[in-house]
Chain A
Amino acid sequence: MNDLLVANSVSKSYGNFKALNEVSIAVPKGSIFGLLGPNGAGKTTLIRIINQITMPDDGNVMLDGQPLTAEHVRDIGYLPEERGLYKSMKVGEQCLYLAQLKGLSKSEAKTRLKYWFDKLEIGDWWNKKIQELSKGQAQKIQFIVTVLHQPKLLIFDEPFSGFDPINANLIKDEILQLRDEGATVIFSTHRMESVEELCDHIALIHQSNKVLDGKLNDIKRQYKTNTFEIGLESLDKEKVFSEIQAKFEVLPATFKNLNDDIKLNIKTNEQTSPNDLLSFLTSKAQVNHFVEVIPSASDIFIQTVKNN
């Protein structure tokens, strides 16, 4: 079994509204799995089903090869998008309570909390009330509580919202470290740059259906258009340009380049290899920029959603 979590054609309706329509995903062990989709697509419903907060109408979810049971709450750490803490409860008490709800013993929870509080340098918050903390500070507590019981599966829904860039980086590094220590992460966000940075698998849900799913690199390969950004230096710009135009499809270029020379995007077909293109270009002019255009996660997202 290489997949930690498998959802098999999960469906869920609220009245007449179908929130999920036979969605299947497989989250490989040790991966960071990006669960993407526009607002209202059904991501949160799927996450809630994985957390057994709501029950699916149809289909099932397997964790580590077993159908979900109440015991599995210990194996999952969930940071919901709608999150908060008891405002008038002290930080320490609250962490202990939430940790015990996840099945840790009190003393075990204390030891681990001390480790995390020292690591994030927030030891002096222990006796403060949540309402005395700032939003970002409360988020840190929330993060600790989510990962404290060392679950096999971590689910983060917009984990970076409310953090300044420094703390966002801190949390990002913690997530990567947890992944390296063996945890599997489901990561739901609208920030495509963090998908780019973190995820190795993604699934895209749109209007209650899964429309895309796979390794991020494979998907990018699928979506690439054999387009190259080209920068050329030549004395006779017009001649070079028309020669290229005769042979290839030329698109306007948008990339930035130091030299104020010929800038263009060239779209080739499947038969032309990058080397063919490059050798053609070097025979015509000095090449100072040659990059294959790889679609970003954001491009893929927008393109897929628009096409569906």
Chain B
Amino acid sequence: MNHLPLIIKREYFTKVKNKSFIVMTFLSPLIMIALIAVVAYLSQLNNDKHRTISVLDETGYLEDVFQDTENTNYTNLNGLSLEDAIVLVKEKEDYGLLYVSKANSLDDIEGHVKFYSEDSPSLSIISGIEQRIEKRLKEKKLELDGVSMAQIEASQTNIDIAQESFDGQKSSKIDNVVKLAFGGAAGYLLFMFIIIYGNMIMRSVIEEKTSRIIEVIISSVKPIQLMMGKIIGTSLAGITQFIIWVILGGVLMFIVSAIFGIDLAQVQSPQQEMVNQAMQAGDPQVMAENLITAISNLPLLNLIIAFLFFFIGGYLLYSSLYAAIGAAVDNETDTQQFMLPILMPLMLAVYVGVFTVIEDPHGTVSTVFSFIPLTSPVVMLMRIPFGVPLWQQGLSLLLLIGTFVFAVWFAAKIYRVGILMYGKKPTYKELFKWLKY
């Protein structure tokens, strides 16, 4: 008798009809959007702040260095003494006073620059001022050596390396960014999915144990059927929740930006900064074209198929382990000691993905970790946009499936013994013994 569809149906509808699940499904995107809106609003607020910086330059070298910008005005206090300048700046409640005392020569000047302010100034302002002074001094020094301003300006070059693979496929820097974005999103999605819904599976196994219904169920169905039904049912509920999140999040994002006029896309995340750098404020139309070619350059079909397989394989592998943990313990507080061995490889996969795949997608570390079954789903998903030979993908998938089958066998063993064990928190040694029952 195949009860799998029945079990999946029950698991799915119990999850979906659960009140806290419904609340989470509809509240989470609201909270997320609200959070983004608040951050966007606050960073705008911060940018709008207007400040005045007074400059007292006794050397005369730094004339014209400080031009007013949108948010910062510079006032020249030349001629005043330092004491008077400080009093004046305090009175005006300026942001601060940049003071360059008299130096004998250009080489001498570096020890003579000081910044006075009420509170410690922001790092970006200080480094901005430093950069300007350095640039000016460099130019002055070059002029002293007989290089004219025109020559200095003429020496500036801007290089944008055109990339082309051996088989003639053109690409640009933006390609890499797009690849990273796709790979990173896929890997991160899998990671989140495993953590959220793996836990849900574990809790539902524990619930069956604590409500003591398990023996009734187990006298009707095989433990492995129950376990697989749980995993699949919960995953379907998870996918439902995810789709609602994406749709609701998109709609809300649109509404919020329309109503409040906050450009949510302007919230700067590290990735976006990278995109910006890669784009380097070029012609927007060219950039858009580049973006489209970059996306179409991706091995899209491969990406989608591999995503499906690695996502499902990786998720099932981890969820069967979560189910085994749920079966081994009586309550959630006891799960901690068994969670660590699951979370470790998962975290490792994400770190390897973030730090080594970005640096060198086909390096030894990335390649090895994209074969090890517990890390391969995340790492391989991040590598694939950069082009991974099919035999590697196949081998990795084969290893993953092999491990999955083993994990299900292992989990089912723990499960069938564990679900009928009450009262005692098992040790690893006991778990090992259960395998032989």
Contacts and interface: CB of A to CB of B under 8 A. Distances in A.
Interface of A: 14-15, 48, 51-54, 70-71, 73-74, 76, 78, 80, 82-89, 97-98, 100-103, 142, 145
B3 interface: yes
Sorted nearest first, the 4 A-B pairs with minimum C-beta distance are A84-B212, A101-B220, A80-B215, A84-B211
Contacts of B10: 97
B220 A73 contact: yes
B18 interface: yes
A101 B3 contact: yes
B420 to A, nearest CB: 7
A32 B220 CA distance: 23
Interface in B64-85: none
B90 to A, nearest CB: 66
B215 A89 contact: no
B1 A85 contact: no
B216 A83 contact: yes
A167 B213 CA distance: 22
A73 B211 contact: no
Contacts of A74: 1
Given A71-B1, A83-B215, 15 more contacts: A52-B219, A54-B416, A73-B219, A74-B1, A78-B216, A80-B215, A83-B213, A83-B216, A84-B212, A85-B213, A98-B220, A100-B6, A101-B3, A101-B6, A101-B217
Contacts of A103: 1
A53 B220 contact: no
Interface in B187-220: 207-208, 211-213, 215-220
Interface in B1-29: 1, 3, 6-7, 10, 14, 18
B221 interface: yes
Nearest to B13: A93
A275 to B, nearest CB: 53
A39 B120 CA distance: 75
B219 A85 contact: no
20 contacts: A53-B215, A54-B416, A54-B437, A70-B1, A73-B1, A73-B220, A73-B221, A76-B219, A80-B215, A83-B213, A83-B216, A84-B211, A86-B14, A87-B211, A89-B14, A97-B10, A100-B6, A101-B220, A101-B221, A145-B216
Contact of A80 (B14, B18, B219, B437): B219
A84 B213 contact: yes
Nearest to B220: A101
Interface residues of B, number: 25
B218 A53 contact: yes
Contacts of B3: 100-101
B215 A82 contact: yes
B2 to A, nearest CB: 10
A153 to B, nearest CB: 12
Interface in B207-237: 207-208, 211-213, 215-222
B422 interface: yes
A14 B420 CA distance: 13
Nearest to B422: A82
Contacts of B433: 15
Contact of B6 (A14, A82, A97): A97
Contacts of A53: 215, 218-219, 420
A73 B223 CA distance: 14
Nearest to A76: B219
Nearest to A157: B215
B141 to A, nearest CB: 77
Nearest to B433: A15
A153 B98 CA distance: 94
Contacts of A102: 220
Nearest to A102: B220
A101 B226 CA distance: 11
A85 B215 CA distance: 10
A231 B212 CA distance: 53
A88 B221 contact: no
Contacts of B221: 73, 101
